[in-house]
């Protein structure tokens, strides 16, 4: 069974800070990884696919990196609208999500 693990569970940050979220796969998923942002009461929004390709309309402050089992999502300068829960999802096998990282205001 392929397991996706995100860390940390919660990140307390100030606006303007640089933030890096981690996602680890229990086995290699190549570059078949996506990142989503979800705000309370809203559907998730696709940010990154192919581990590093920004989805349409996603600001350049969001970037993804990694391959194999280790991935990261970086927000270069956190804006107020970026406080949300972030999920990684692998699609090398049937879709599987990580448990999420909540980015909250410090």
Partner 1 sequence: QVQLVESGGGVVQPGRSLRLSCAASGFTFSNYGMHWVRQAPGKGLEWVAVIWYDGRNKYYGDSVKGRFTISRDNSKNTLYLQMNSLRVEDTAVYYCARDPDAVSGTYFDYWGQGILVTVSS
Chain residues binding partner 1 by CB under 8 A are 32, 34, 36, 38, 42-46, 49, 55, 87, 89, 91, 94-100
Is the Cβ of residue 17 or residue 52 nearer to partner 1 in the bound state? 52
Minimum Å distance from CB 66 to partner 1? 15
Rg (CA), the chain: 13
| Torsion sign, CA atoms 81, 57, 68, 76 | negative
Minimum Å distance from CB 50 to partner 1? 9
Is the Cβ of residue 10 or residue 77 nearer to partner 1 in the bound state? 10
Whole-number Å distance between alpha carbons of 97 and 91: 9
Residue 82 has phi, psi (to 5 degrees) of -90, -5
């Amino acid at each position: 069974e392929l397991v996706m693990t995100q860390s940390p569970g919660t990140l307390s940050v100030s606006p303007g800070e640089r933030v890096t979220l981690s996602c680890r796969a229990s086995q290699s998923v190549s570059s078949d990884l996506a990142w989503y942002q979800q705000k309370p009461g809203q559907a998730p929004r696709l940010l990154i696919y192919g581990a590093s390709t920004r989805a349409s309309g996603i600001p350049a402050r969001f970037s993804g990196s990694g391959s194999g089992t280790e991935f990261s999502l970086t927000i270069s300068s956190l804006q107020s609208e970026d406080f949300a829960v972030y999920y990684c999802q692998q699609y090398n096998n049937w879709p599987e999500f990580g448990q999420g990282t909540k980015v909250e205001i410090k």
